[in-house]
Amino acid sequence: MRKILRIASVLLMLLPVFVKAENREVPFTLDDRDRIIRTEQNLDAVKAEMKARFESVNTRFENMDKRFDQLFNFLWAIIGIFLTMIFSVFGFAFWDRKLSLAPMKREEEKIKTVLRELSKSQPKLAEIMRQAGML
């Protein structure tokens, strides 16, 4: 067993001698140059394709922006229509109320003048009207 260990240790120590690890400079060949040129061409093609795709995405976003602008314009138009309708309804209600109350106010004034005339001859009625603040 010791013999095997000695042989193994000697072989391990002599291993660098058996394996020649030389640092040789690898020459740059024409194939390497052609390979680099093809790689650059492929990179340029990929860049061009990416640029085209980004431009198409940008045009899609621009189209979506235009559609959103159209949608917002449509919403503003609908809001304007509803506000016009609401103001029209309220305006008509106030106008109608004023128009319908005008004859009642005229009749009230007639009644007040009649009561004033009647209060000249009846003192009790005149006292009641003074208390109510009508005289």
User: 44-83 pLDDT, tens per residue?
Assistant: 999 999 999 999 999 999 999 999 999 999 999 999 999 9
**Would you say the pTM of this structure is higher than 0.85?**
no
Higher pLDDT, 91 or 21: 91
Burial of residue 131 (number of CB atoms within 10 Å: 0-12, 13-18, 19+): exposed
Q: Which pLDDT score is estimated for 6?
A: 86
Q: Backbone dihedral region of 133: left (phi > 0), alpha (psi from -120 to 50 degrees) or beta?
A: left
Quick check: 12 pLDDT over 90? no
Condensed to tens digits (0 to 9), the pLDDT of residues 90-131 reads: 999 999 888 888 888 888 888 888 888 888 888 888 888 888
Determine the residue type at 26. V
Pseudo-torsion of CA 12, 18, 19, 24, nearest 10°?
140
| Cβ(126)–Cβ(135) below 8 Å | yes
Q: How far is residue 14's CA from residue 8's CA, in Å, rounded to a whole number? A: 10
Contact present, 128 and 134 (Cβ < 8 Å): no
Report the C-alpha gap between 83 and 78 in whole angstroms: 9
